């Protein structure tokens, strides 16, 4: 019976005119869901749509406050994340492959930090707390993510964050840097367009951390390495598979969990092994 209903629904949604009629409603539901999460404390929504295992992990982690590592103490308005899973962020294991690099950056006196594809603000607000003298620019094309990011900035009492919608190649080309800067990019393949010969000259004093999405375009990493190798040292960091994380990551919160629960706690849901490019200037002007 369930398979029959599923086939019928898929058939109906496959009709172009039906899909065009449904899309505005789906958009409205998504928007209302996000604003509902922003308006209500996280504990009050736990019972609405989470599995028993998800509820147990939330109970284990407690209030949505980052528990470990470089952004420890970062407060979330609720258990909500955009384009990534939330549990690793609250635990502090999110992108642990970058731990040493992020900690080094947190101890660098940057004037500006540009976070492109900031999502809900894990890095933008995290860095704003760690480096209060830096001006942080948080870019994301998703209006719900921007709303959540602004809410998280207020919750953490940071005033050095500007939330913006779209960062173009021209934005970076003409950006008025005041000194040493950090650029973080996680923009789902747009990095192939975002960085080019025209804006490279304006980034000579910038450190960059770019997540590459070669599963979308196999040329991305090669293009960026070729582009930046003229001006920057290039370090390549590979991601760790979620199953490996569940077996080897050591956090006290995971000590008594079985492998299924550990995987849910640590999983970041990447479509495959991915890479980051850590770029630092060869010369400082």
Condensed to tens digits (0 to 9), the pLDDT of residues 34-82 reads: 444 444 433 333 344 678 899 999 999 999 999 999 999 999 999 999 9
Residue 179 counted as domain residue: yes
- pLDDT at 44 (0 to 100): 36
Q: Is the pLDDT of residue 117 over 90?
A: yes
Residue 216 counted as domain residue: yes
Residues 113 and 78 placed together within one structural domain of the fold: yes
Residue 48 counted as domain residue: no
Q: Is the pLDDT of residue 246 over 60?
A: yes
Contacts of 94 (CB under 8 A, 6+ apart): 84, 88, 122, 268
Residues 171 and 277 placed together within one structural domain of the fold: yes
Residues 83 and 147 placed together within one structural domain of the fold: yes
Contacts of 183 (CB under 8 A, 6+ apart): 113, 114, 116, 172, 203, 206, 207, 208, 209, 210
Q: 159 with 187: CB under 8 angstroms?
A: no
Report the number of distinct structural domains present in the chain: 2
Q: Is the pLDDT of residue 161 over 50?
A: yes
Distance from chain centroid for Cα 171 = 20
Residue 57 counted as domain residue: no
Residues 83 and 24 placed together within one structural domain of the fold: no
- pLDDT at 42 (0 to 100): 38
Residues 6 and 98 placed together within one structural domain of the fold: no
Residue 161 counted as domain residue: yes
Residues 69 and 104 placed together within one structural domain of the fold: yes
Residues 206 and 72 placed together within one structural domain of the fold: yes
CATH number at residue 194: 3.40.50.150
Mean of pLDDT values over 101-128: 97
CA distance 20 to 237: 42
pLDDT band at 283 (very low <50, low <70, confident <90, very high): confident
Q: Is the pLDDT of residue 145 over 50?
A: yes
Residues 13 and 132 placed together within one structural domain of the fold: no
Q: To which residue do tokens 């077996």 refer?
A: 247
Residues 24 and 82 placed together within one structural domain of the fold: no
Residues 71 and 106 placed together within one structural domain of the fold: yes
Q: Is the pLDDT of residue 123 over 50?
A: yes
Q: To which residue do tokens 């979308």 refer?
A: 216
Residues 121 and 229 placed together within one structural domain of the fold: yes
Predicted TM-score of the model (pTM): 0.82
Three-class secondary structure assignment of the chain = CHHHHHHHHHHHHCCHHHHHHHHHHHHHHHHHHHHHHHHCCHHHHHHHHCCHHHHHHHHHHCCCECCCHHHCCCECCCCCCCCCCCHHHHHCCCCHHHHHHHHHHHCCCCCEEEEECCCCCHHHHHHHHHCCCCEEEEECCCHHHHHHHHHHHHHCCCCCEEEECCCCHHHHHHCCCCCCEEEEECCCCCHHHHCCHHHHHHHCCEEEEEEECCCCCCCHHHHHHHHHCCCEEEEEEECCCHHHHHHHCCCHHHCCCCHHHHHHHHCCCCCCCCEEEEEEECCCC
Token couple for 118: 């900031």
Residue 25 counted as domain residue: yes
Domain containing 30 equals 2-39
Q: Is the pLDDT of residue 14 over 70?
A: no
Residue 24 counted as domain residue: yes
Q: 167 with 65: CB under 8 angstroms?
A: no
φ and ψ at 160, to 5 degrees?
-105, 35
pLDDT band at 158 (very low <50, low <70, confident <90, very high): very high
Residues 30 and 122 placed together within one structural domain of the fold: no
């Amino acid at each position: 019976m369930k398979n029959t209903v599923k086939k019928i629904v898929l058939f109906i949604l496959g009709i172009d005119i039906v899909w065009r009629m449904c899309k505005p409603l789906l958009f409205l539901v998504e928007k209302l869901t996000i604003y509902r999460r922003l308006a209500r404390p996280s504990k009050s929504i736990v019972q609405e749509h989470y599995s028993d295992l998800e509820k147990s992990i939330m109970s284990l982690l407690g209030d949505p406050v980052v528990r470990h590592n470089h952004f420890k103490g970062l407060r979330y308005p609720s258990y909500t994340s955009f384009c990534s899973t939330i549990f690793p962020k609250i635990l502090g294991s999110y992108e642990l492959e970058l731990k040493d690099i992020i900690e080094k950056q947190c101890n660098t006196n940057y004037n500006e930090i540009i976070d492109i594809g900031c999502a809900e603000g894990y890095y933008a607000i995290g860095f704003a707390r760690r480096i209060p003298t830096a001006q942080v620019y948080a870019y994301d094309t998703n209006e719900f993510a921007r709303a959540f990011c602004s809410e998280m900035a207020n919750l953490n009492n940071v005033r050095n964050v500007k939330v913006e919608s779209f960062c173009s190649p021209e934005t970076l080309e003409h950006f008025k840097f005041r000194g040493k800067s950090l650029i973080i990019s996680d923009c789902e393949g747009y990095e192939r367009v975002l960085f080019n010969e025209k804006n490279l000259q304006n980034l000579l004093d910038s450190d960059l951390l770019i997540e590459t999405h070669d599963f979308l375009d196999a040329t991305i990493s090669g293009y960026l390495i070729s582009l930046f190798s003229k001006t920057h040292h290039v370090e390549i960091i590979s991601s760790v598979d979620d199953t490996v994380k569940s077996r080897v990551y050591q956090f006290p919160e995971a000590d008594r969990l079985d492998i299924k629960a550990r995987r849910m706690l640590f999983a970041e849901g990447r479509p495959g092994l991915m890479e980051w490019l850590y770029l630092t200037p060869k010369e400082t002007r």
